[in-house]
Structure 1
Amino acid sequence: MGHVRAFAVTVLALAALGVPAGLAWSLLAPRAPYAIVNGRPVLADPSTQALIAADGWFAVVTGGIGLVCAVVAWNLARDRRLEVLLGLAAGGAAAAFVAQWAGTTFTLAPVTVEAAAAVPGVKVVAGALVLTARGVLVAWPLLAVGLYGTMEAVVAYRESPLRRPYGEIEGL
């Protein structure tokens, strides 16, 4: 039963961290400018980098939190290493989706709009925060699992009897 609990606690803890991660993304990411033309929003500045920057900020925020989660999880895992590793993968994926939802639902940053191609008489507004590159959703679980596995591999290598060739005895 302890195996399932270690997995479930890891998944739930990470999923809960998705809300503050999404709010941080909402605070940091820029919004793309949209012009209201015939009652419909149209991208006001086709050369804007705001959409790419929003995706980048999502990857930075969630990837950074994923790295921190890996270090904390590795230090707390003790004898439940595999369950915690699987929890990092599943919880990181769930947390990324929660972060996307929280970031697109709540706007924390003051929204300002600057459009290089603004036409006089056309209303330019800030668009909603969206994630256009869906691939950045894997930043959290990928970096968390990668760092966790790296730390585990380093410790396993240090403790391996294969590291001491020719039957060397420790302490001599």
Structure 2
Amino acid sequence: MRAFAVTVLALAALGVAAGLLWSGVTPRAPYQVTERGTVLADPTTQALIAADGWFAVITGGLGLLCGGVAWFAGRRWMLPVLLGLCAGGVLASYLTLWTGSTFTIGAVTVEAAALPGDTIVPGALRLTARGVLVSWPLLAVGFFALLEGMHGYRESPLRQPYGGIGPTQGL
């Protein structure tokens, strides 16, 4: 249980840091303040797509890093660490989303064509492609499995033909 809990808590802490990083590097979409509330000022903005892309890059990179570190560090407790990567990766993705959309880090500049007197404000970060939430746990577990598969193949007696006995050695 300890290996599972440590893995989940470590990934959760990384999720908060990833959310702050995501908030700092991602551009904000411009919104116009109207009587009805805020509406997207520039429908052709790429900022919404950039938010999804930066989220996938940050969480995917951390997923690969966590999968590799977990495989090297958790050799004695493979199953609890693997389950911790899965659960912790899901938790870390949601914490990244929550932290990044709640806190604004870095300089926020918004550019949009507006009429004189219109108020343009930066929008909050949000994901339009919810599928990127699985990039952290998917890449962490996948890279862990890849490393374990390569290690298992290298150590396997089935890797050598005839079980290690050459065709002329048995005669």
> What TM-score results when the alignment is normalised by the length of structure 2?
0.93
Q: Distance in 2 between matches of 1:167 and 1:55?
A: 50
Q: Distance in 1 between matches of 2:117 and 2:104?
A: 27
Segments of structure 2 that go 5 or more residues without pairing to the other structure are none
**2:154 equivalent in structure 1:** 158
**1:33 equivalent in structure 2:** 30
- Counterpart pick for 2:104 among 102, 107, 110: 107
Q: Pairwise mapping of residues 4-153 of structure 1 onto structure 2 (< 5 A)?
A: 4-38=1-35, 40-115=37-112, 117-153=113-149
AA aligned opposite 2:153: Y
| Per-residue CA distance 1:91-122 (angstroms, 9 max, x = gap) | 0000011111111111112111111x422321
For 2:96, what is the secondary structure of its paired residue? Answer: helix
| Per-residue CA distance 1:22-52 (angstroms, 9 max, x = gap) | 0000001110000011151010000001001
AA aligned opposite 1:51: L
* Deviation for aligned residue 1:12: 1.0
* Deviation for aligned residue 1:84: 0.7
| Per-residue CA distance 1:121-167 (angstroms, 9 max, x = gap) | 21111111112211111010001011000000000000111101113
* Deviation for aligned residue 1:9: 0.9
The answer as to whether partners of 1:35 and 1:125 remain within 8 angstroms in 2 is yes
Aligned CA-pair RMSD = 1.5
1:167 equivalenced with 2:163 (yes/no)? yes
Segments of structure 1 that go 5 or more residues without pairing to the other structure are none
Q: Distance in 2 between matches of 1:111 and 1:122?
A: 18
Q: Distance in 2 between matches of 1:157 and 1:16?
A: 34
The answer as to whether partners of 1:45 and 1:118 remain within 8 angstroms in 2 is no
Between the aligned residues of both structures, percent identity stands at 65
Q: Distance in 2 between matches of 1:60 and 1:19?
A: 16
For 2:69, what is the secondary structure of its paired residue? Answer: helix
AA aligned opposite 2:71: W
AA aligned opposite 1:79: R
Aligned residues between the structures: 167
> What TM-score results when the alignment is normalised by the length of structure 1?
0.93
Larger Rg: 2
